[in-house]
A and B are shown apart, each in its own frame.
Chain A
Amino acid sequence: MTSPTSSFDIRRPLGRFVLGGLAHVGRVSLLVFEIFRGLAEWRVWLPRTIEEAANIGLGSLPIILLVAGFAGAVTALQTGYQFTGNIPYYVAGSLIVESVVLELGPVLTGLILAGRIGARYAAELGTMRVTEQIDALETLGRSPASHLVIPRVLAGIVMIPILTIIANITGVLSGWIAVQQVMPVTNHDFEYGARIFWHPFDAWYSVIKGFAFAVCITVVSCYFGFSTEQGAEGVGKSTTSAVVASCVMILLLDTVLAKLLLK
């Protein structure tokens, strides 16, 4: 057993880690509280939310289409590679649709947007923090939550589930086309396979995941942006932390939601 007087005492870094984690949780909770309190100032956040939503939606669409298209196609090609023996061809349809809708569509969209939107939010707010723009808002008697956080969070909550749906449709369509290049699957087979294992809840599950990832990406990246300290280096650090934390949270949420909702 390690004695407290030995050169390395594991309790010290562990304690610091736990306290640091709890401090983050506390500060995120305060930010969420500020978000709810700021919702009353709809005249401030509504126009900015619309602007931000257009920005997120249109700006992210090309990369979402590209990644979802390739993800669907690769799933189809790997399905073709693994199909041997007496497995009916229509199973390819169910496999591709379920893989894309339940997992690839929402998770890849989440991870891409954690990089694209999360990094942008953290860098923008971090720069505003170190250049005292957030302090300036406060001295003008205005709420930074209403002006800066709510529009970003709401825009994400509206647009990320929509982008997830678009990613799902793109992935399924590209998988449909690609699978016909490697296997003799007819349109009828694919459609039959897609329908046979389909539950209407699958679509809801995908959207719920998109919503959960949206909350996670936007709140986490705004939090790290707001907590930025010490100039350009601090902005870099908080941007990296925002992306890493968002990605880890997305994977955690993915597991938790699968366990809770898929029964």
Chain B
Amino acid sequence: MIELHDVRKRFGQQVVLDGVDFTVQDGETVALLGPSGCGKSVLLKHVVGLIRQDAGTVVVDGMDVAHLKRDALRRLRSTIGYVFQNGALFDSMNVFENVRLGITNEDQFRDMDYCRERVARCLKLVNLTQDTAEKYPAQLSGGMRKRVGISRAIAGTPKYLLYDEPTSGLDPVNADIIDDLVKSLAAELGVTSVMVTHDVRGAMRVADRLALLTSGRIVQQGTPKEFMESTVPEVREFLERDFGNLNFAA
């Protein structure tokens, strides 16, 4: 379970998170919505310990992330797959090496037979063919890079998958493919997923629950249906940006 209690974070004078309370139950897929620059990615980075909060607590699997020792944090991270906005693939490595790096168990990482088999399986799970393994990130399209990024995130058989804007910069067809992938991976691997996005349509299709982050706070959490019926002004305003006039909730 992922729990954030009263998390506060500021960069200089800019308050990014202003008392965020947010919980993700095991097995859930939660979409964290919000306008660009509202701190969604910052929140996600707190979960994996890339950013430390100024106040509040971030607890994953009962462990306070900010107070974990180096080795404990490393062990925790090996249970979390993180999909970066632009893939964050290592330019100097081919796809095989990139995905292999996601195998967090050191014994398995050194076993090349296991690695070949695991990388092939992960690429297949994200609908990439075997010949992709030899390519370098520069030779891939945006959608393929994201899929390789997902493939690397699942290579270590994580318990949690965190997606940072997995569909941003993609055309609607590729965005739908990635959304379907998020959904199918959650079902096939049984992982707990948190997807940061500003694409409401995609979030509605994929998530069990949605949360809206705006002005540094979570202003609404609930199922897609509850979200569509919400009377919270920030939620209405945000949904109308994507859907226009909201008379289709039924």
Contacts and interface: CB of A to CB of B under 8 A. Distances in A.
A135 interface: yes
B84 A135 contact: yes
Contacts of B90: 128, 133, 136
B104 A136 contact: no
Contact of B88 (A136, A141, A142): A136
Nearest to A51: B92
Contacts of A133: 88-91
Contacts of A135: 45, 50, 84, 88
A141 B78 contact: yes
28 contacts: A43-B110, A131-B86, A131-B88, A132-B84, A132-B86, A132-B88, A133-B88, A133-B90, A135-B50, A135-B84, A135-B88, A136-B84, A136-B88, A136-B89, A136-B90, A137-B101, A138-B77, A139-B80, A139-B82, A140-B77, A140-B78, A140-B101, A140-B104, A141-B74, A141-B75, A141-B77, A141-B78, A141-B104
Given A133-B88, A140-B102, A140-B152, 14 more contacts: A43-B110, A128-B90, A131-B88, A132-B84, A133-B91, A135-B45, A135-B88, A136-B88, A136-B152, A137-B101, A140-B77, A140-B78, A140-B104, A141-B104
Contacts of A128: 90
B140 to A, nearest CB: 14
Contacts of A131: 86, 88
Interface of B: 45, 48, 50, 74-75, 77-78, 80, 82, 84-86, 88-91, 101-102, 104, 110, 152, 156
Interface in A117-143: 128, 131-133, 135-142
A138 B68 CA distance: 14
A131 B45 CA distance: 15
Contacts of B45: 135
Main secondary structure, interface of A, reads helix
B48 A139 contact: yes
Contacts, number: 43
Contacts of A140: 77-78, 101-102, 104, 152, 156
B77 A139 contact: yes
Interface of A: 43, 128, 131-133, 135-142
Contacts of B89: 133, 136
Contacts of B82: 136, 139
B86 A138 contact: no
A139 B50 contact: yes
A253 B104 CA distance: 42
Most chain-B Cβ atoms within 10 A of its Cβ — which of A133, A137, A141, A142? A141
Contacts of A43: 110
Contacts of B88: 131-133, 135-136
A56 to B, nearest CB: 15
B88 to A, nearest CB: 4
B211 to A, nearest CB: 22
A198 to B, nearest CB: 44
A124 to B, nearest CB: 9
A263 B101 CA distance: 52
Contacts of A142: 101
A128 B137 CA distance: 13
A136 B93 CA distance: 14
A200 B137 CA distance: 51
